[in-house]
């Protein structure tokens, strides 16, 4: 796991948030990759070439792929590093991913994998409920909400508290969906979409089960458990398939540059490890 800056009493405000400490090599790669994605797309636009996405969408998409990759393979930063160029390629090929849905999947993966190691704080709960409301206005927002619900179920030990969080998130999601009148539609994927779906599905199968991690939780309360990481990988794969089932092409695009890239990075890292040790980055 990538260490965070030791801000005094930072854990009082949020357990889910993670400071990207530039003193760590993997985090420097994340920052550099994020900025590079934005600069490349910006340069293409200056040259009059349409990359199909904005510098902001490219940067955030690549960063989310890295962040999800860190949760899916906490012992191996190389997986997240590999996910970044994969993400950029998919973003250029298919267009921008849904940042809201991808954030929901990221938080769900973080809670499911148990990399936090500390109970959810009030700010975390407010963020989950607020994001659920925003997801209610998106076509496949239910995928992001479902991912967070799975995460809360795994991560919150008190059933009464987890039930309350899940009920509140579901309620605001449904209310937002009814108010905004989101319409459901399914469009058959093109060849690139089908190929991306296959990559995501194969990668999801290839990365389970996870080996027993040696990493500690972010708050040093204990080691990350292998079965929790396996569950997070499975959840990410199911999220990709659920997006396809709900919206077809749009559902694939929504998570292609983020969750699919993270799964692919984890699978590639695993395959390379069978041939030779992958150095930590």
Tokens of 158: 């008190």
Dump pLDDT digits (tens) for 42-92.
Answer: 999 999 988 889 999 999 999 999 999 999 999 999 999 999 999 999 999
Q: Residue 8: exposed, middle, or buried by beta-carbon count in 10 A (0-12, 13-18, 19+)? A: exposed
pLDDT score of 1: 46
Q: What is the mean pLDDT of residues 105-118?
A: 91
Residue 103 has pLDDT above 60, yes or no: yes
211: tokens are 């080996």
pLDDT reading at 281 higher than 80: no
Q: How far apart are CA 55 and CA 33, in angstroms?
A: 12
Residues 6+ apart with CB under 8 A from 141: 100, 101, 104, 134, 135, 173, 177, 182
Write the CA distances from 27 to 32, 95, 258, integer angstroms: 8, 25, 17
The pTM score is: 0.92
Q: What is the DSSP letter of 220?
A: S
Reading the block at residue 12, the tokens are 């009082």
Question: Does the structure show a pLDDT above 90 at 213?
Answer: no
pLDDT in tens, 146-189: 999 999 999 888 888 899 999 999 999 999 999 999 888 899 99
Q: What is the pLDDT of residue 279?
A: 53
Give me the pLDDT at residue 116, please: 83
Q: Please provide the average confidence, as pLDDT, over all residues in the chain.
A: 90
d(CA 234, CA 232): 5
């Amino acid at each position: 796991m990538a260490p965070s800056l030791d801000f005094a009493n930072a854990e009082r405000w949020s357990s889910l948030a993670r400071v990207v400490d530039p003193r760590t090599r993997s985090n420097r790669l994340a920052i550099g990759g994020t900025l590079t994605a934005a600069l490349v797309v910006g340069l293409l636009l200056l040259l009059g070439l349409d990359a199909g996405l904005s510098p902001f969408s490219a940067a955030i998409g690549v960063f989310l792929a890295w962040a999800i990759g860190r949760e899916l393979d906490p012992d191996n930063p190389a997986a997240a590093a590999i996910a970044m160029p994969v993400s950029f390629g998919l973003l250029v090929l298919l267009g921008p991913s849904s940042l809201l849905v991808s954030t929901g999947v990221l938080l769900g993966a973080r809670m499911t994998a148990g990399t936090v190691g500390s109970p959810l704080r009030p700010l975390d709960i407010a963020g989950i409920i607020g994001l659920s409301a925003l997801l209610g206005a998106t076509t496949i927002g239910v995928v992001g909400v479902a991912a967070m619900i799975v995460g809360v179920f795994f991560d919150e030990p008190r059933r009464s508290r987890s039930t309350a969080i899940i009920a509140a998130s579901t309620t605001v999601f449904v209310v937002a969906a009814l108010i905004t009148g989101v319409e459901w539609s399914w469009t058959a994927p093109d060849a690139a979409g089908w190929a991306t779906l296959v990559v995501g599905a194969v990668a999801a199968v290839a990365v389970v089960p996870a080996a027993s991690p040696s990493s500690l939780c972010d708050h040093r309360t204990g080691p990350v458990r292998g079965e929790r990481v396996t569950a997070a990988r499975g959840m990410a794969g199911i999220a990709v398939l659920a997006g396809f089932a709900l919206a077809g092409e749009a559902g694939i695009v929504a998570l292609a540059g983020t969750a699919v890239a993270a799964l692919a990075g984890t699978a590639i890292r695993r395959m390379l490890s069978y041939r030779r040790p992958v150095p930590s980055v």
